[in-house]
Amino acid sequence: MPAQLPLSCSCGHVRGEAKLVGRELRLACHCADCQAFTHFLDRPDELLDAYGATEVVQLPPARIEITQGAEQLACMRLSPIGLMRWYTSCCDTPVANTMTNPGVPFTGLMLAFAGPNVDASTRDQLLGPIRARVNGPARQRDPDAPPVTVAKFPLGTILRSIQVLAGGWFRNEHTPSPFFDGTTGAPRATPRVLSEDEREKLRERVLTWA
């Protein structure tokens, strides 16, 4: 039987739920772009883990529902070809990453949007452990934290990701989507695309942040 992962932004204005069916993929992403996104939101210390990673769960958008505050959804892109990165305008909580094509059944749901009332043990129970740490290197923010391994080419994780994506296509789980209009396919918020100068400033913040 599907389980429900409650979703909420930090201030509680935006709420929802994600339906979990056991085919989700939980990852920790260490890439510079995910780190830059947290700096864009001015919340890197809160949002990145002890190794500089963002926790995401890959699942189709049709299994995510925003039940309150959808008008607070905002979107940005680090570049004209970058992912669409969704967040809440009320309190700058990251929500998800999506492709620009609404027909692709991919969502990287941010676990920061799992809500302040969902503790780590509940997340582990619902989602299982982190399957892999990817797109490194890791940044050891906490010297007392045990070292972690970031996979350079995690074949098993790549195959699992393809499986999740293929299953979403097979089941037409690209729609309904909380991020795109079901009729026109237009994003529900106009993406803000950063300028080169804005991107460079974020890169500098990422490089100097510890």
Sheet holding 107-110, edge to edge: 132-134, 25-29, 54-59, 107-110, 94-98, 84-88, 73-77, 192-193
- Residue 151 pLDDT more than 90? no
Whole-angstrom distance, CA of residue 64 vs CA of residue 92: 19
Q: Give the bridge partners for 97, in sequence order.
A: 85, 108
Half-sphere exposure of 135 (CA within 13 A, CB side): 15
Is 180 within a domain? yes
The reply to whether 181 falls in a domain is yes
For the chain, the domain total comes to: 1
User: For tokens 């339906």, what's the residue?
Assistant: 19
Q: Is residue 210 part of a domain?
A: no
Within a domain: residue 173? yes
Confirm whether 15 is domain-assigned. yes
Percent of the chain with pLDDT over 70: 99
Q: Is the pLDDT of residue 46 over 70?
A: yes
Q: Is residue 209 part of a domain?
A: no
Question: Per-residue confidence at 1, pLDDT binned at 50, 70, 90?
Answer: low
Q: Count Cβ neighbours within 10 Å for each residue of 134-143 and write b for 16 or more, e otherwise.
A: bbbebbebee
| Residue 152 binned pLDDT confidence (cut-offs 50, 70, 90) | confident
Mean pLDDT of 108-120: 88
| DSSP label at residue 15 | E
CATH number for the domain harbouring residue 78: 2.170.150.70
In a domain, 190, yes or no: yes
Range of the domain at 173: 3-204
